[in-house]
Amino acid sequence: MLSFDANNKKRRRRAAFGAAALFVMGALFGAYILMEFPLGSDPPGNQGALEGPEAEQTPEAAVGAEAARETTIAGDAQVEWLARFTACEHELKLDPAGKVTGMTRKELEAAYPEYAIEMFDSKHARLVKSVEGCCSEHFMLKLGENSLIITKMDARTLKPKEVMRIIVDTGVLDEQARTALEGGIVFDSLATINAFLEGVGE
C-alpha cells in the first residue's frame, strides 16, 4: 500500500506531465498555423477584402475620366458671335447670344443649334449664324407681282426690310433679267439699281 507521500508525488508527476503535454500540443499547433499561413500573408478567403485599389477600371469610370479631360471654354476666352450673309459673304459682329463659360463643344452645339462652330478651344471660339440675303451695306432688288422690290437688311433684326417698291410692267423683262431678279440681285447703292433698270428698259 502506497503512502500518502508516494500518492502525492505520483499526482504531481501526472500534473507536470499533463502541463508539459499541453505545452507541446500548443507549440505544435502554433507551428502548424505558421506553416499554413506565413507571416505577412492573408488567410484564404480574405484576400479580396484586403487588396488595394488595383481593381480594373469600370467603363463608367473611364467615361468619367475622359469627360474630365474634355476641353471647355475658359472664363477669359475670346468668343466671336458672327452673322454671315449668303448673298454677299460679308460678316457682321453680333452681341453674345448667351453664356458659354465652362461649356464643351457638344454642350455649345446643343445650346446654340442655329450657330455653326468654326473654331473651338479653351481660349477662343467662333460661332457663325448663316443669314439669307445680303448685309446692310447692300441693297437687294427682287421681282415681285407687277413690281420690283428693293430691300435692305436690318442689322438689328437680321431680316430684310422693304425700302422701295417700283411698279413696272414685268412683261417687258427678258428671260435672263427675269431669272436673275427672281433670285434677287445685290447692289451697292440705289444709283447702281437705277443704272441697271435703265439698261433693262432699253
Mean of all residue pLDDT scores within the chain = 79
% residues pLDDT > 70 (the chain) = 65
List pLDDT tens digits, range 149-197.
999 999 999 999 999 999 988 888 888 888 999 999 999 999 999 998 8
% residues pLDDT > 90 (the chain) = 53
Which residue, 66, 112, 135, 89, is CA-closest to 120? Answer: 112
Higher-confidence residue of 15 and 142: namely 142
Residues 6 or more apart whose CB falls under 8 angstroms from that of 122 comprise 71, 72, 73, 74, 77
List pLDDT tens digits, range 34-72.
555 555 545 455 444 444 455 455 555 555 555 457 999
Decide: 196 and 187 in contact? Cβ < 8 Å: yes
pLDDT at 80 over 50: yes
Prediction pTM value: 0.59
d(CA 28, CA 113): 79
Please report the DSSP string for 12-24 in residue order: HHHHHHHHHHHHH
Q: Is 169 helix (H, G, I), strand (E, B) or coil?
A: coil
Q: Is 92 helix (H, G, I), strand (E, B) or coil?
A: strand
